[in-house]
Amino acid sequence: MERFLQIFRVPELRKKVLIVAVLLVAFRVLAAIPIPGINAAALQNYFNSNQLLGFLNFFSGGGLVTLSVVMLGVGPYITATIIMQLMTIIFPSMKEMYYEDGARGQAKFNQYARLLTVPLAMVQAYGFLTLLISQNVIPRPDPFHLATNIIVITCGSMIALWLGELITEQKIGNGISLIIMAGIISRLPSAVGTALVAYTPSQLTAYAGFIIVGLLLIAGIVYLNEGERKIPVAYARRVRGNKMFGGAQSYLPLKVNQAGMIPLIFAISVLLLPQFLAQLLTIFSTTWALKVNGFAQAFVNNHLYYGVVYFLLVFAFTYFYTAITFNPEEVAKNLQRSGGFVPGIRPGESTEKFFGSIVNRITLFGAAFLGIIAVLPLIVQALTGIAVVTISGTALLIVVAVALETMRQIDSQLTVREYDGIE
CA 1 – CA 240 distance, rounded (Å):
49
pLDDT tens for the 423 residues of the chain, in order: 666 677 777 788 888 889 988 998 898 888 888 876 666 666 666 666 666 666 666 666 666 777 788 888 888 888 888 788 778 777 777 777 766 666 777 788 888 889 999 998 888 888 778 777 776 777 777 888 888 888 988 998 899 899 989 998 888 878 888 888 887 787 777 666 766 666 667 667 767 777 777 787 788 888 877 888 888 888 766 656 556 555 567 778 888 887 777 787 778 777 777 766 666 666 666 677 777 767 777 776 777 787 888 889 888 888 888 887 787 887 888 887 777 788 888 888 888 888 888 888 888 888 888 888 778 777 766 766 555 445 566 777 778 888 888 888 888 777 776 655 544
Q: What is the pLDDT of residue 22?
A: 92
Q: What is the pLDDT of residue 352?
A: 84
- C-beta separation of 183 from 54 below 8 A: no
Q: What is the pLDDT of residue 158?
A: 92
What does DSSP say about strands 228-235 and 249-255: parallel, antiparallel, or unpaired?
A: antiparallel
AA identity, residue 180? I
AA identity, residue 327? N
- Give the domain ranges of the chain: 17-186, 198-423
- C-beta separation of 402 from 174 below 8 A: yes
From 155, 168, 63, select the one nearest 118 (Cα to Cα). Answer: 155
DSSP state at residue 202: G
From 94, 12, 56, select the one nearest 413 (Cα to Cα). Answer: 12
CA 173 – CA 143 distance, rounded (Å):
41
- C-beta separation of 89 from 53 below 8 A: no
Residue 25, sorted as left (phi over 0), alpha (psi -120 to 50) or beta, turns out to be alpha
pTM, full prediction: 0.75
Q: What is the pLDDT of residue 118?
A: 92
From 69, 47, 51, 48, select the one nearest 60 (Cα to Cα). Answer: 69
From 213, 387, 417, 242, select the one nearest 301 (Cα to Cα). Answer: 387
Give the Å distances, CA to CA, from 360 to 130, 153, 319: 45, 42, 8
Q: What is the pLDDT of residue 108?
A: 84
Phi, psi (degrees; rounded to nearest 5) at 88: -65, -25
AA identity, residue 356? G
DSSP state at residue 228: E
Q: What is the pLDDT of residue 378?
A: 74
Domain 198-423 top-level CATH class: mainly alpha
6 Cα distance to chain centroid: 29
For domain 17-186, say whether CATH 1.25.60.10 is its number.
Answer: no
CA 258 – CA 322 distance, rounded (Å):
6
Question: Do the domains 198-423 and 17-186 match in fold?
Answer: yes
